[in-house]
DNA sequence: AAGTGGTCTAGACCACCGA
DNA sequence: CGGTGGTCTAGACCACTTT
Protein backbone atom coordinates (compact mmCIF):
# COMPACT_ATOMS: atom_id res chain seq x y z
CA UNK A 1 0.00 0.00 0.00
CA UNK A 2 2.08 2.89 -1.17
CA UNK A 3 -0.36 5.64 -0.52
CA UNK A 4 0.04 8.71 -2.68
CA UNK A 5 0.44 11.05 0.27
CA UNK A 6 3.50 9.41 1.80
CA UNK A 7 7.02 10.44 0.92
CA UNK A 8 8.62 8.74 -1.99
CA UNK A 9 12.03 8.37 -0.35
CA UNK A 10 11.47 4.81 0.83
CA UNK A 11 10.01 3.70 -2.46
CA UNK A 12 12.84 5.27 -4.46
CA UNK A 13 15.47 3.87 -2.11
CA UNK A 14 13.96 0.40 -2.29
CA UNK A 15 13.74 0.53 -6.06
CA UNK A 16 17.33 1.69 -6.37
CA UNK A 17 18.58 -1.00 -4.03
CA UNK A 18 16.72 -3.66 -5.96
CA UNK A 19 18.16 -2.30 -9.18
CA UNK A 20 21.69 -2.31 -7.78
CA UNK A 21 21.29 -5.89 -6.61
CA UNK A 22 19.95 -6.93 -9.98
CA UNK A 23 22.77 -5.23 -11.84
CA UNK A 24 25.36 -6.66 -9.47
CA UNK A 25 24.00 -10.16 -9.98
CA UNK A 26 24.38 -9.69 -13.72
CA UNK A 27 27.83 -8.23 -13.36
CA UNK A 28 26.73 -4.89 -14.80
CA UNK A 29 28.52 -2.12 -13.03
CA UNK A 30 26.97 1.11 -14.34
CA UNK A 31 23.45 2.22 -13.46
CA UNK A 32 21.26 4.12 -15.92
CA UNK A 33 21.61 7.89 -15.87
CA UNK A 34 19.83 9.93 -13.24
CA UNK A 35 17.49 11.36 -15.83
CA UNK A 36 16.59 7.90 -17.10
CA UNK A 37 16.00 6.63 -13.58
CA UNK A 38 13.76 9.61 -12.86
CA UNK A 39 11.64 8.83 -15.91
CA UNK A 40 11.48 5.12 -15.11
CA UNK A 41 10.46 5.56 -11.50
CA UNK A 42 8.21 8.52 -12.24
CA UNK A 43 9.90 10.91 -9.83
CA UNK A 44 12.01 14.00 -10.21
CA UNK A 45 15.73 13.84 -10.80
CA UNK A 46 16.27 15.39 -7.37
CA UNK A 47 14.51 12.49 -5.70
CA UNK A 48 16.74 10.07 -7.59
CA UNK A 49 19.79 12.03 -6.57
CA UNK A 50 18.93 11.87 -2.89
CA UNK A 51 18.53 8.13 -3.14
CA UNK A 52 21.88 7.82 -4.90
CA UNK A 53 23.41 10.11 -2.28
CA UNK A 54 22.41 7.62 0.40
CA UNK A 55 23.87 4.67 -1.44
CA UNK A 56 27.05 6.57 -2.21
CA UNK A 57 27.44 7.42 1.48
CA UNK A 58 27.20 3.71 2.19
CA UNK A 59 29.92 3.06 -0.39
CA UNK A 60 27.56 0.99 -2.49
CA UNK A 61 28.08 3.35 -5.41
CA UNK A 62 30.77 5.51 -6.82
CA UNK A 63 29.69 8.40 -9.02
CA UNK A 64 31.83 9.97 -11.68
CA UNK A 65 31.05 13.06 -13.79
CA UNK A 66 31.73 13.49 -17.44
CA UNK A 67 30.58 12.02 -20.70
CA UNK A 68 31.32 8.43 -19.74
CA UNK A 69 30.56 8.96 -16.08
CA UNK A 70 27.66 7.60 -14.13
CA UNK A 71 26.87 5.68 -10.98
CA UNK A 72 29.06 2.61 -10.65
CA UNK A 73 28.23 -0.27 -8.35
CA UNK A 74 30.98 -0.88 -5.83
CA UNK A 75 32.84 -4.00 -6.77
CA UNK A 76 31.91 -7.20 -4.99
CA UNK A 77 35.59 -7.60 -4.25
CA UNK A 78 35.25 -7.20 -0.49
CA UNK A 79 32.98 -10.23 -0.37
CA UNK A 80 34.62 -11.64 2.76
CA UNK A 81 33.81 -10.27 6.22
CA UNK A 82 37.13 -9.41 7.87
CA UNK A 83 39.19 -10.10 4.76
CA UNK A 84 42.73 -11.46 5.18
CA UNK A 85 44.40 -8.18 4.32
CA UNK A 86 43.31 -6.94 7.70
CA UNK A 87 45.85 -9.33 9.15
CA UNK A 88 48.61 -7.24 7.65
CA UNK A 89 49.98 -4.82 10.23
CA UNK A 90 52.71 -3.27 8.13
CA UNK A 91 50.75 -0.11 7.36
CA UNK A 92 52.64 3.05 8.31
CA UNK A 93 51.00 3.88 11.57
CA UNK A 94 52.60 5.16 14.73
CA UNK A 95 52.68 2.40 17.32
CA UNK A 96 51.93 3.23 20.93
CA UNK A 97 53.21 0.40 23.12
CA UNK A 98 50.93 -0.09 26.09
CA UNK A 99 53.38 -2.41 27.86
CA UNK A 100 55.77 0.31 28.86
CA UNK A 101 55.35 3.62 30.65
CA UNK A 102 57.11 5.70 28.06
CA UNK A 103 56.89 9.30 26.99
CA UNK A 104 55.50 10.11 23.59
CA UNK A 105 58.65 11.87 22.30
CA UNK A 106 60.89 8.85 23.03
CA UNK A 107 58.30 6.59 21.43
CA UNK A 108 58.25 8.69 18.27
CA UNK A 109 62.01 8.97 17.97
CA UNK A 110 62.34 5.19 18.33
CA UNK A 111 60.11 4.81 15.30
CA UNK A 112 61.92 7.35 13.19
CA UNK A 113 59.49 10.22 13.55
CA UNK A 114 60.47 13.74 14.49
CA UNK A 115 58.56 14.56 17.68
CA UNK A 116 57.25 17.96 18.64
CA UNK A 117 55.07 19.23 21.44
CA UNK A 118 52.86 22.31 21.40
CA UNK A 119 51.71 23.54 24.77
CA UNK A 120 48.09 24.56 24.24
CA UNK A 121 47.57 25.61 27.84
CA UNK A 122 49.12 25.23 31.27
CA UNK A 123 47.08 26.48 34.17
CA UNK A 124 46.20 26.18 37.84
CA UNK A 125 42.52 25.30 38.21
CA UNK A 126 40.04 24.10 40.81
CA UNK A 127 39.59 20.35 40.42
CA UNK A 128 36.32 19.12 38.89
CA UNK A 129 34.52 16.38 40.81
CA UNK A 130 35.77 13.42 38.84
CA UNK A 131 39.35 14.59 38.72
CA UNK A 132 39.39 15.32 42.44
CA UNK A 133 38.05 11.86 43.19
CA UNK A 134 40.75 10.23 41.09
CA UNK A 135 43.57 12.32 42.57
CA UNK A 136 42.25 11.87 46.10
CA UNK A 137 41.89 15.56 46.87
CA UNK A 138 38.84 17.69 47.76
CA UNK A 139 36.63 18.93 44.94
CA UNK A 140 37.78 22.38 43.93
CA UNK A 141 41.25 21.83 45.30
CA UNK A 142 44.01 23.30 43.13
CA UNK A 143 45.21 21.14 40.26
CA UNK A 144 47.71 21.72 37.50
CA UNK A 145 45.95 21.31 34.16
CA UNK A 146 48.11 20.68 31.12
CA UNK A 147 46.87 20.56 27.53
CA UNK A 148 49.50 19.52 25.05
CA UNK A 149 49.44 18.71 21.35
CA UNK A 150 51.88 16.05 20.16
CA UNK A 151 53.11 16.09 16.59
CA UNK A 152 54.99 13.52 14.56
CA UNK A 153 56.91 14.91 11.59
CA UNK A 154 54.94 18.12 12.02
CA UNK A 155 51.53 16.46 11.74
CA UNK A 156 49.27 16.32 14.80
CA UNK A 157 49.14 12.92 16.46
CA UNK A 158 47.51 13.35 19.83
CA UNK A 159 46.01 15.85 22.23
CA UNK A 160 46.68 15.26 25.90
CA UNK A 161 44.89 16.64 28.93
CA UNK A 162 46.65 15.93 32.22
CA UNK A 163 45.76 16.79 35.82
CA UNK A 164 48.13 16.77 38.81
CA UNK A 165 47.68 17.73 42.47
CA UNK A 166 49.05 21.28 42.63
CA UNK A 167 49.75 21.10 46.37
CA UNK A 168 51.83 17.98 45.95
CA UNK A 169 53.88 19.52 43.16
CA UNK A 170 54.29 23.19 44.11
CA UNK A 171 55.86 25.42 41.50
CA UNK A 172 55.44 22.82 38.81
CA UNK A 173 54.39 25.43 36.26
CA UNK A 174 57.56 27.44 36.94
CA UNK A 175 59.39 24.79 34.93
CA UNK A 176 57.30 25.68 31.90
CA UNK A 177 57.34 24.72 29.15
CA UNK A 178 57.11 21.14 30.36
CA UNK A 179 58.13 18.65 27.72
CA UNK A 180 59.19 15.53 29.58
CA UNK A 181 56.94 15.60 32.60
CA UNK A 182 57.93 12.24 34.03
CA UNK A 183 61.59 13.27 34.07
CA UNK A 184 60.69 16.52 35.78
CA UNK A 185 58.64 14.80 38.46
CA UNK A 186 61.55 12.50 39.18
CA UNK A 187 64.28 15.12 39.30
CA UNK A 188 62.43 17.96 41.00
CA UNK A 189 60.09 16.07 43.32
CA UNK A 190 61.61 12.61 43.65
CA UNK A 191 58.39 11.03 42.43
CA UNK A 192 58.64 8.09 40.04
CA UNK A 193 55.70 6.72 38.11
CA UNK A 194 55.68 2.98 38.70
CA UNK A 195 52.37 1.73 37.34
CA UNK A 196 49.67 2.91 34.99
CA UNK A 197 46.12 1.77 34.46
CA UNK A 198 44.79 2.65 31.06
CA UNK A 199 41.46 2.26 29.33
CA UNK A 200 40.88 2.73 25.64
CA UNK A 201 37.77 3.55 23.73
CA UNK A 202 36.64 5.28 20.59
CA UNK A 203 35.01 8.68 20.80
CA UNK A 204 34.16 11.38 18.31
CA UNK A 205 36.35 14.45 18.03
CA UNK A 206 34.50 17.57 19.03
CA UNK A 207 34.84 20.59 16.80
CA UNK A 208 37.62 22.04 18.94
CA UNK A 209 39.55 18.81 19.26
CA UNK A 210 39.18 18.17 15.55
CA UNK A 211 40.59 21.59 14.81
CA UNK A 212 43.67 20.97 16.94
CA UNK A 213 44.24 17.46 15.61
CA UNK A 214 43.66 18.47 12.00
CA UNK A 215 40.82 16.07 11.31
CA UNK A 216 37.22 16.61 10.34
CA UNK A 217 34.75 17.26 13.16
CA UNK A 218 33.28 14.08 14.62
CA UNK A 219 35.89 11.83 13.09
CA UNK A 220 36.65 8.94 15.44
CA UNK A 221 39.60 9.28 17.81
CA UNK A 222 41.14 6.86 20.27
CA UNK A 223 40.65 8.05 23.84
CA UNK A 224 43.27 6.63 26.21
CA UNK A 225 42.50 7.39 29.85
CA UNK A 226 45.34 6.90 32.28
CA UNK A 227 45.85 6.82 36.02
CA UNK A 228 49.53 6.75 37.01
CA UNK A 229 50.72 5.74 40.45
CA UNK A 230 54.07 5.91 42.25
CA UNK A 231 55.88 3.05 44.00
CA UNK A 232 53.61 3.42 47.03
CA UNK A 233 50.48 3.14 44.89
CA UNK A 234 49.57 6.80 45.32
CA UNK A 235 48.01 8.45 42.27
CA UNK A 236 50.47 10.84 40.61
CA UNK A 237 48.48 12.05 37.64
CA UNK A 238 45.46 11.31 35.50
CA UNK A 239 45.23 12.02 31.80
CA UNK A 240 43.12 11.61 28.73
CA UNK A 241 45.04 11.30 25.47
CA UNK A 242 43.10 11.63 22.24
CA UNK A 243 44.94 9.95 19.38
CA UNK A 244 44.13 10.43 15.73
CA UNK A 245 42.60 7.11 14.74
CA UNK A 246 44.13 7.24 11.27
CA UNK A 247 47.71 7.53 12.53
CA UNK A 248 47.73 5.31 15.58
CA UNK A 249 48.15 1.65 16.37
CA UNK A 250 48.23 0.45 19.96
CA UNK A 251 50.23 -2.63 20.88
CA UNK A 252 50.13 -4.87 23.94
CA UNK A 253 51.76 -8.15 24.86
CA UNK A 254 50.16 -10.53 27.30
CA UNK A 255 51.59 -13.44 29.25
CA UNK A 256 49.06 -15.92 30.54
CA UNK A 257 49.17 -16.00 34.32
CA UNK B 1 35.96 38.37 -6.31
CA UNK B 2 32.77 36.38 -6.11
CA UNK B 3 32.27 35.95 -9.79
CA UNK B 4 28.67 35.37 -10.85
CA UNK B 5 29.47 32.11 -12.61
CA UNK B 6 30.91 30.26 -9.64
CA UNK B 7 28.81 28.17 -7.33
CA UNK B 8 27.21 29.85 -4.43
CA UNK B 9 27.94 27.10 -1.94
CA UNK B 10 31.08 28.69 -0.54
CA UNK B 11 29.50 32.10 -0.29
CA UNK B 12 26.42 30.75 1.45
CA UNK B 13 28.47 28.58 3.77
CA UNK B 14 30.73 31.48 4.69
CA UNK B 15 27.78 33.77 5.29
CA UNK B 16 26.04 31.19 7.47
CA UNK B 17 29.18 30.55 9.49
CA UNK B 18 29.67 34.25 10.06
CA UNK B 19 26.06 34.54 11.11
CA UNK B 20 26.36 31.62 13.53
CA UNK B 21 29.48 33.13 15.08
CA UNK B 22 27.77 36.50 15.41
CA UNK B 23 24.71 34.98 17.00
CA UNK B 24 26.82 32.82 19.31
CA UNK B 25 28.79 35.86 20.44
CA UNK B 26 25.52 37.57 21.33
CA UNK B 27 24.18 34.50 23.06
CA UNK B 28 21.32 34.18 20.56
CA UNK B 29 20.67 30.55 19.90
CA UNK B 30 18.11 30.49 17.09
CA UNK B 31 18.89 31.45 13.50
CA UNK B 32 16.33 33.15 11.25
CA UNK B 33 14.08 30.82 9.32
CA UNK B 34 15.30 29.22 6.12
CA UNK B 35 12.95 31.37 4.06
CA UNK B 36 14.22 34.54 5.70
CA UNK B 37 17.84 33.52 5.18
CA UNK B 38 17.11 32.80 1.52
CA UNK B 39 15.68 36.28 1.05
CA UNK B 40 18.53 37.94 2.94
CA UNK B 41 21.29 36.17 1.04
CA UNK B 42 19.46 36.33 -2.26
CA UNK B 43 19.54 32.60 -2.92
CA UNK B 44 16.95 29.88 -3.02
CA UNK B 45 15.78 28.12 0.07
CA UNK B 46 17.38 24.91 -1.21
CA UNK B 47 20.78 26.58 -1.25
CA UNK B 48 20.27 27.69 2.34
CA UNK B 49 19.21 24.21 3.31
CA UNK B 50 22.35 22.63 1.89
CA UNK B 51 24.45 25.06 3.85
CA UNK B 52 22.56 24.29 7.02
CA UNK B 53 22.90 20.57 6.25
CA UNK B 54 26.65 20.96 6.35
CA UNK B 55 26.67 22.79 9.64
CA UNK B 56 24.23 20.32 11.13
CA UNK B 57 26.51 17.45 10.09
CA UNK B 58 29.30 19.22 11.94
CA UNK B 59 27.07 19.47 15.02
CA UNK B 60 27.22 23.25 14.89
CA UNK B 61 23.44 23.35 14.58
CA UNK B 62 20.47 21.38 15.71
CA UNK B 63 17.30 21.74 13.67
CA UNK B 64 13.82 21.18 15.00
CA UNK B 65 10.55 21.18 13.05
CA UNK B 66 7.28 22.71 14.15
CA UNK B 67 5.86 26.10 14.91
CA UNK B 68 8.58 27.05 17.38
CA UNK B 69 11.27 25.09 15.61
CA UNK B 70 14.25 26.40 13.73
CA UNK B 71 18.01 26.08 13.53
CA UNK B 72 19.59 26.27 16.97
CA UNK B 73 23.26 26.98 17.48
CA UNK B 74 24.94 24.18 19.41
CA UNK B 75 25.58 25.37 22.91
CA UNK B 76 29.04 26.61 23.75
CA UNK B 77 28.95 24.21 26.64
CA UNK B 78 31.74 22.02 25.32
CA UNK B 79 34.06 25.01 25.36
CA UNK B 80 36.96 23.01 26.85
CA UNK B 81 39.02 20.64 24.70
CA UNK B 82 38.98 17.22 26.41
CA UNK B 83 36.48 18.28 29.06
CA UNK B 84 36.72 16.71 32.53
CA UNK B 85 33.69 14.46 32.06
CA UNK B 86 35.82 12.39 29.73
CA UNK B 87 37.73 11.31 32.81
CA UNK B 88 34.67 9.46 34.02
CA UNK B 89 34.89 5.80 33.07
CA UNK B 90 31.67 4.64 34.66
CA UNK B 91 29.72 4.58 31.42
CA UNK B 92 28.14 1.18 30.75
CA UNK B 93 30.58 -0.31 28.29
CA UNK B 94 31.85 -3.85 28.12
CA UNK B 95 35.44 -3.96 29.30
CA UNK B 96 37.94 -6.15 27.47
CA UNK B 97 40.96 -6.68 29.71
CA UNK B 98 44.11 -6.86 27.61
CA UNK B 99 46.23 -8.09 30.53
CA UNK B 100 44.83 -11.59 30.51
CA UNK B 101 44.37 -14.19 27.81
CA UNK B 102 40.71 -14.80 28.46
CA UNK B 103 37.82 -15.99 26.37
CA UNK B 104 35.07 -13.57 25.52
CA UNK B 105 32.27 -15.61 27.16
CA UNK B 106 34.05 -15.71 30.53
CA UNK B 107 34.78 -11.99 30.24
CA UNK B 108 31.13 -11.21 29.59
CA UNK B 109 29.80 -13.39 32.39
CA UNK B 110 32.21 -11.77 34.85
CA UNK B 111 30.66 -8.41 34.00
CA UNK B 112 27.09 -9.59 34.31
CA UNK B 113 26.28 -9.93 30.63
CA UNK B 114 24.71 -13.00 29.09
CA UNK B 115 27.15 -14.25 26.45
CA UNK B 116 26.22 -15.90 23.20
CA UNK B 117 28.19 -16.99 20.16
CA UNK B 118 26.90 -17.34 16.63
CA UNK B 119 29.04 -19.36 14.27
CA UNK B 120 28.93 -17.48 10.98
CA UNK B 121 31.21 -19.89 9.18
CA UNK B 122 33.71 -22.66 9.89
CA UNK B 123 35.72 -23.88 6.95
CA UNK B 124 38.94 -25.38 5.68
CA UNK B 125 40.65 -22.97 3.30
CA UNK B 126 43.96 -22.40 1.56
CA UNK B 127 45.98 -19.88 3.54
CA UNK B 128 46.32 -16.36 2.10
CA UNK B 129 49.87 -15.01 1.96
CA UNK B 130 49.80 -12.94 5.11
CA UNK B 131 48.10 -15.59 7.19
CA UNK B 132 50.54 -18.25 6.01
CA UNK B 133 53.48 -16.05 6.91
CA UNK B 134 52.14 -15.48 10.41
CA UNK B 135 51.36 -19.15 11.01
CA UNK B 136 54.67 -20.26 9.52
CA UNK B 137 53.18 -22.51 6.86
CA UNK B 138 53.38 -22.39 3.05
CA UNK B 139 51.04 -20.09 1.19
CA UNK B 140 47.95 -22.00 0.20
CA UNK B 141 48.45 -24.59 2.93
CA UNK B 142 45.24 -25.70 4.63
CA UNK B 143 44.01 -23.52 7.46
CA UNK B 144 40.92 -23.66 9.62
CA UNK B 145 39.02 -20.41 9.20
CA UNK B 146 36.50 -19.50 11.88
CA UNK B 147 34.12 -16.56 11.74
CA UNK B 148 32.16 -16.04 14.93
CA UNK B 149 29.80 -13.35 16.14
CA UNK B 150 29.84 -12.63 19.88
CA UNK B 151 26.76 -11.24 21.55
CA UNK B 152 26.25 -9.71 24.98
CA UNK B 153 22.67 -9.80 26.24
CA UNK B 154 21.60 -10.66 22.71
CA UNK B 155 23.18 -7.59 21.15
CA UNK B 156 26.19 -8.03 18.83
CA UNK B 157 29.50 -7.09 20.41
CA UNK B 158 32.26 -8.40 18.19
CA UNK B 159 33.00 -10.31 15.03
CA UNK B 160 36.02 -12.58 15.13
CA UNK B 161 37.99 -14.10 12.27
CA UNK B 162 40.52 -16.74 13.39
CA UNK B 163 43.00 -18.83 11.42
CA UNK B 164 44.72 -21.99 12.65
CA UNK B 165 47.09 -24.45 10.95
CA UNK B 166 44.81 -27.28 9.83
CA UNK B 167 47.62 -29.82 9.68
CA UNK B 168 48.60 -29.10 13.26
CA UNK B 169 45.04 -29.46 14.51
CA UNK B 170 43.52 -32.27 12.41
CA UNK B 171 39.82 -32.84 12.84
CA UNK B 172 39.36 -29.55 14.63
CA UNK B 173 36.14 -28.83 12.78
CA UNK B 174 34.68 -32.18 13.89
CA UNK B 175 34.24 -30.62 17.30
CA UNK B 176 31.91 -28.05 15.79
CA UNK B 177 30.34 -25.91 16.97
CA UNK B 178 33.41 -24.54 18.69
CA UNK B 179 32.57 -22.20 21.52
CA UNK B 180 35.59 -22.23 23.82
CA UNK B 181 38.44 -22.77 21.42
CA UNK B 182 41.27 -22.40 23.92
CA UNK B 183 39.77 -25.12 26.11
CA UNK B 184 39.41 -27.40 23.11
CA UNK B 185 43.01 -26.87 22.01
CA UNK B 186 44.18 -27.76 25.49
CA UNK B 187 42.05 -30.86 26.00
CA UNK B 188 42.16 -32.33 22.50
CA UNK B 189 45.64 -31.32 21.35
CA UNK B 190 47.54 -30.54 24.54
CA UNK B 191 48.32 -27.06 23.26
CA UNK B 192 48.15 -24.18 25.70
CA UNK B 193 48.20 -20.55 24.67
CA UNK B 194 50.85 -18.86 26.79
CA UNK B 195 51.35 -15.42 25.26
CA UNK B 196 49.52 -13.06 22.96
CA UNK B 197 50.66 -10.05 21.02
CA UNK B 198 47.84 -7.71 20.18
CA UNK B 199 47.58 -4.52 18.20
CA UNK B 200 44.61 -2.20 18.24
CA UNK B 201 43.42 0.30 15.74
CA UNK B 202 40.25 1.90 14.48
CA UNK B 203 38.81 0.89 11.14
CA UNK B 204 35.51 1.41 9.39
CA UNK B 205 32.95 -1.37 9.28
CA UNK B 206 32.34 -2.60 5.77
CA UNK B 207 28.77 -3.10 4.71
CA UNK B 208 28.88 -6.79 5.54
CA UNK B 209 30.56 -6.35 8.89
CA UNK B 210 28.16 -3.57 9.76
CA UNK B 211 25.23 -5.82 8.97
CA UNK B 212 26.50 -8.56 11.27
CA UNK B 213 27.37 -6.18 14.09
CA UNK B 214 24.14 -4.25 13.80
CA UNK B 215 25.72 -0.86 13.19
CA UNK B 216 25.53 1.55 10.28
CA UNK B 217 27.91 0.95 7.39
CA UNK B 218 31.27 2.69 7.84
CA UNK B 219 30.79 3.27 11.53
CA UNK B 220 34.12 2.99 13.36
CA UNK B 221 35.03 -0.33 14.95
CA UNK B 222 37.96 -1.39 17.08
CA UNK B 223 40.14 -3.90 15.24
CA UNK B 224 42.15 -6.07 17.62
CA UNK B 225 44.72 -8.21 15.80
CA UNK B 226 46.16 -11.08 17.79
CA UNK B 227 48.97 -13.58 17.44
CA UNK B 228 48.86 -16.29 20.12
CA UNK B 229 51.82 -18.52 20.94
CA UNK B 230 52.27 -21.65 23.05
CA UNK B 231 54.84 -22.20 25.79
CA UNK B 232 57.52 -22.90 23.18
CA UNK B 233 56.81 -19.64 21.39
CA UNK B 234 55.23 -21.33 18.39
CA UNK B 235 52.31 -19.47 16.84
CA UNK B 236 49.02 -21.21 17.64
CA UNK B 237 46.49 -18.93 15.99
CA UNK B 238 46.03 -15.48 14.56
CA UNK B 239 42.82 -13.50 14.72
CA UNK B 240 41.23 -10.20 13.99
CA UNK B 241 38.42 -9.22 16.33
CA UNK B 242 36.20 -6.33 15.30
CA UNK B 243 34.53 -4.77 18.33
CA UNK B 244 31.63 -2.36 18.20
CA UNK B 245 33.18 0.93 19.23
CA UNK B 246 30.06 2.04 21.04
CA UNK B 247 29.98 -0.96 23.37
CA UNK B 248 33.62 -1.60 24.09
CA UNK B 249 36.28 -0.34 26.45
CA UNK B 250 39.73 -1.89 26.48
CA UNK B 251 41.76 -1.93 29.67
CA UNK B 252 45.45 -2.49 30.31
CA UNK B 253 47.70 -2.21 33.36
CA UNK B 254 51.38 -1.46 33.05
CA UNK B 255 54.22 -1.88 35.48
CA UNK B 256 57.28 0.17 34.74
CA UNK B 257 60.23 -2.11 34.09
C1' DA C 1 -4.25 29.81 12.22
C1' DA C 2 0.36 30.45 11.22
C1' DG C 3 5.05 29.50 10.77
C1' DT C 4 8.64 25.93 11.11
C1' DG C 5 11.66 22.40 8.94
C1' DG C 6 11.19 18.25 5.58
C1' DT C 7 10.16 16.84 1.10
C1' DC C 8 9.29 16.92 -3.82
C1' DT C 9 8.87 18.85 -8.59
C1' DA C 10 10.08 20.75 -13.20
C1' DG C 11 13.29 23.11 -15.29
C1' DA C 12 17.72 25.27 -16.05
C1' DC C 13 22.85 26.04 -16.49
C1' DC C 14 27.50 24.40 -15.46
C1' DA C 15 32.09 21.70 -15.88
C1' DC C 16 33.68 17.77 -17.60
C1' DC C 17 34.99 14.47 -21.04
C1' DG C 18 34.47 10.74 -24.47
C1' DA C 19 32.51 9.85 -29.16
C1' DC D 1 28.73 17.60 -30.15
C1' DG D 2 26.14 15.21 -26.75
C1' DG D 3 25.47 13.06 -22.39
C1' DT D 4 27.09 12.73 -17.64
C1' DG D 5 26.89 14.15 -12.75
C1' DG D 6 26.86 18.69 -9.85
C1' DT D 7 24.45 22.72 -8.77
C1' DC D 8 20.78 26.11 -8.34
C1' DT D 9 16.03 28.11 -8.69
C1' DA D 10 11.07 29.08 -7.75
C1' DG D 11 7.32 27.10 -6.17
C1' DA D 12 4.46 23.73 -3.88
C1' DC D 13 2.58 20.51 -0.28
C1' DC D 14 3.37 18.02 4.01
C1' DA D 15 3.63 17.00 9.23
C1' DC D 16 4.26 19.19 13.17
C1' DT D 17 3.63 22.31 17.05
C1' DT D 18 2.98 26.62 19.28
C1' DT D 19 0.10 30.75 19.20
Residue whose C-alpha is closest to residue B53's, from A53, A59, A199, A170:
A53
Cα angle, residue A216 at apex, residues A213 and A218 outer, rounded to 5°: 95
Nearest chain B residue to A78, by CA: B206
**DSSP symbols for A123-188:** EEEEPPHHHHHHHTS-TT-EEEEEEEEEEETTEEEEEEEEEEETTTSTTGGGGPSPS-HHHHHHHH
What pLDDT score does A75 carry? 59
Could you give the C-alpha distances from A81 to A59, A131, B131, B177, B218, in angstroms and in order? 15, 41, 15, 19, 13
Interchain proximity A101–B254, CB inside 8 Å: yes
Q: How far is CA A42 from the centre of its chain?
A: 43
Q: Of all protein residues, which has its CA closest to the C1' atom of D15? A: B66
Task: Supply the DSSP string of A47-100, one letter for each residue.
Answer: HHHHHHHHHHHTTSEEEE-STT-EEEEPPTT--SSS-GGGG---SS-EEEETTS
pLDDT of residue A159: 96
Residues of chain A with pLDDT under 50: 1-5, 77
Model pLDDT, residue A254:
84
Facing residue for A256 by CB, picked from B57, B82, B194: B194
Q: Using the structure, give the distance in angstroms from the CA atom of B9 to the C1' atom of C3, rounded to a whole number.
A: 26
State how far the alpha carbon of B161 is from the alpha carbons of A95, A100, B235, in Å: 23, 28, 16
B64 beta carbon to strand C: under 7 Å: yes
CA of A48 to C1' of D3 (A): 17
List chain A residues with CB under 8 Å of B47.
none
**What pTM was estimated for this model as a whole?**
0.89
Q: Which of residues 9-48 of B touch strand C (CB under 7 A)?
A: 31, 33-36, 45-46
Residue A46 Cβ under 7 A from any strand C atom: yes
B69: the nucleotide nearest its CA (via C1') is C4
CA distances from residue B132 to A79, A87, A252, B38, B115 in whole angstroms, order as listed: 20, 11, 22, 61, 31
Query: Phi/psi of residue B64, each to 5°?
Result: -125, 135
Helix (H, G, I), strand (E, B) or coil at A251: strand
Q: Evaluate the omega torsion of the peptide bond into residue B177 and state whether it is cis, within 30 degrees of 0.
A: yes
Contact status, residue A23 vs residue A35, Cβ threshold 8 Å: no
Which residue's CA is nearest to the C1' of nucleotide D2? A67
Cα nearest neighbour of B101 on chain A: A256
Contact B54, B63 (CB under 8 A): no
**What pLDDT is attached to residue A78?**
54
Q: Are strands B248-255 and B94-97 parallel, antiparallel or unpaired?
A: parallel
Which nucleotides of strand D come closer than 7 angstroms to any CB of the protein? Answer: 2-12, 14-19
Instruction: Give the rounded distance of the alpha carbon of B65 from its chain centre.
Output: 31
User: What pLDDT is recorded for position A5?
Assistant: 37
Instruction: Indicate yes or no: strand C within 7 A of the C-beta of B251.
Output: no
Concatenate the DSSP letters of all residues of B205-256 into one string.
PPHHHHHHHTS-TT-EEEEEEEEEEETTS-EEEEEEEEEETTTEEEEEEEE-
**Longest distance between any two alpha carbons in chain B, whole Å:** 78
- For residue range A71-125, what is the model confidence (pLDDT) as tens digits? 998 855 456 777 887 888 776 799 999 988 778 888 999 999 999 999 999 999 9
Q: How far is the CA of A217 from the C1' of C2 (A)?
A: 37
- Do B159 and A82 count as a contact with CB atoms less than 8 A apart? yes
Residues forming a β-bridge with B30? B72
Q: Between chains, do B81 and A209 touch, taking CB under 8 Å as contact?
A: yes
Contact criterion met (CB < 8 Å) for A84 and B130: yes
| Stretch (H or E) spanning B43 | none
Cis, peptide link before residue A184, omega less than 30° from 0: no
Contact between A250 and B202 under an 8 Å Cβ cutoff? The reply is: no
Burial of A81 per CB tally in 10 Å (0-12, 13-18, 19+):
buried
What's the pLDDT at A3?
32
How many whole angstroms from its chain centre is CA A87?
Answer: 21
> Strand pairing partners for A94?
A248
Cβ contact, residue pair A194, B255, below 8 Å: yes
Nucleotides of C under 7 A from a protein CB: 1-12, 14-19
pLDDT of res. B5? 38
CA distance A167 to A147: 19
Mention every residue, 6+ apart, whose C-beta is less than 8 A from residue A122.
A144, A145, A146, A147, A173, A176, A177, A178
Q: Phi/psi class of residue A132: alpha, beta or left (left: φ > 0; alpha: ψ in -120 to 50)? A: alpha
**What confidence score (pLDDT) does residue B78 get?**
56
Number of Cβ within 10 Å of residue A78's Cβ equals 14
Query: Mind listing the pLDDT tens digit of every residue in chain B (257 residues)?
Result: 333 335 677 889 999 999 999 998 888 889 999 999 999 999 999 999 999 999 999 889 999 898 888 999 886 545 677 888 788 877 679 999 998 877 888 899 999 999 999 999 999 999 999 999 999 999 999 999 999 999 999 999 999 999 999 999 999 988 867 667 888 999 999 999 999 999 999 999 988 899 999 999 889 999 999 999 999 999 999 999 999 999 999 999 888 66
Apex CA B73: angle with CA B69 and CA B74, to 5°?
Answer: 115
Amino acid sequence: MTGPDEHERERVTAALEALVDEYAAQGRERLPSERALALTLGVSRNAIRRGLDTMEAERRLVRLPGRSGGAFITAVIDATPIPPFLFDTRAPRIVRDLDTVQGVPQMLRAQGFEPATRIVSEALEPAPDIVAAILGIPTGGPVVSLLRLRLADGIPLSLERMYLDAERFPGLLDHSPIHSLYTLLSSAFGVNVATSDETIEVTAASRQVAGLLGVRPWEPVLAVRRISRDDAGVVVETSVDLFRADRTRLAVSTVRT
